[in-house]
Structure 1
Amino acid sequence: MIVAGLGLRSGCDMQVILDLLHAAQECCGRQADLVAVPAFRYDEPGLRAAVAHLGLMLRGVTRAQLLAAQPRCISHSARALAATGVASVAEGCALAVAGPRSRLVVPRLTGTHATCAMAQGEDA
């Protein structure tokens, strides 16, 4: 399973998310099976539109899950830490949902108002 993790600001545009997902998928050489985001961003309109456009499932990640994944993240952002209390949102979401023995296949990519990372679960 390939999980695309996203971190995004409130009001992030659908096209920004689509562009980041496409860039991450090109780096990985595979399409994501699902998208994971922090639970506090789950209902963002641009996100929901992007995921629906691609026909992917969306999974919300709790704060506890994000915190548990942090030691496995390789990118850290002081801005994200100050804003959310988590230093690696996109990588944390991808790793949390892909499973405890998952690995990053695309470290954090940064776009306008969003970040994206991809993790591969054991079964992929």
Structure 2
Amino acid sequence: MRVAGIGFREGAPMESLRWVLEAAEAQGGRADALATLPAKAAALRPLAEERGLALHAVAVGGIETPTRSARIAAMHGTGSVAEAAALVAAGAGARITVARITAPDAMATCAIAETGERPR
């Protein structure tokens, strides 16, 4: 299963969300699902529906990530919301295959994690 985790600032435009997802998929292949924080899921739902993808709202506190933002660590207890959400939603044994990518306007990030599981 390939999950694209997306982190974004409040008010991030849909164009930024699409851009980071497309950039991550260009590096790691098409996502089977999207994942983000529970508080952000409603804002990401339109992109999930547009792409026909499941959307997982996951807790990310305490998840170790390959990249680390001090600001995100202070706010969410993990180094990257995008990477942590992808790892949690992909399930046991998941690994990051595309590290956090940031949109040109810095409003959104995306990372991809993969596991051998089939999409849920």
TM-score, normalisation: structure 1: 0.86
Higher helix share: 1
Secondary structure of the 2:34 match is: strand
Distance 2:91 2:76 in 1: 22
How many correspondences in the alignment?
A: 116
Q: Which runs of 4+ in 1 moved over 4 A?
A: none
Aligned to 1:2: 2
Which residue of the other structure, out of 51, 54, 79, is the alignment partner of 1:87? 79
Secondary structure of the 1:50 match is: helix
TM-score, normalisation: structure 2: 0.88
Tell me how large the CA RMSD over aligned residues is: 1.4
Q: Which runs of 5+ in 1 are unaligned?
A: none
Aligned to 2:110: 116
Distance 2:78 2:66 in 1: 13
Distance 2:12 2:91 in 1: 27
- The letter of the residue matching 2:25 is Q
Deviation for aligned residue 1:100? 2.1
Distance 2:116 2:52 in 1: 23
Which residue of the other structure, out of 57, 61, 67, is the alignment partner of 2:54? 57
1:3 and 1:34 in contact (8 A); partners too:
yes
Distance 1:110 1:78 in 2: 15
Q: Which runs of 5+ in 2 are unaligned?
A: none
2:33 and 2:53 in contact (8 A); partners too:
yes
2:61 and 2:76 in contact (8 A); partners too:
no
Percent of pairs identical after alignment?
A: 36
1:99 and 1:122 in contact (8 A); partners too:
no
Deviation for aligned residue 1:121? 1.0
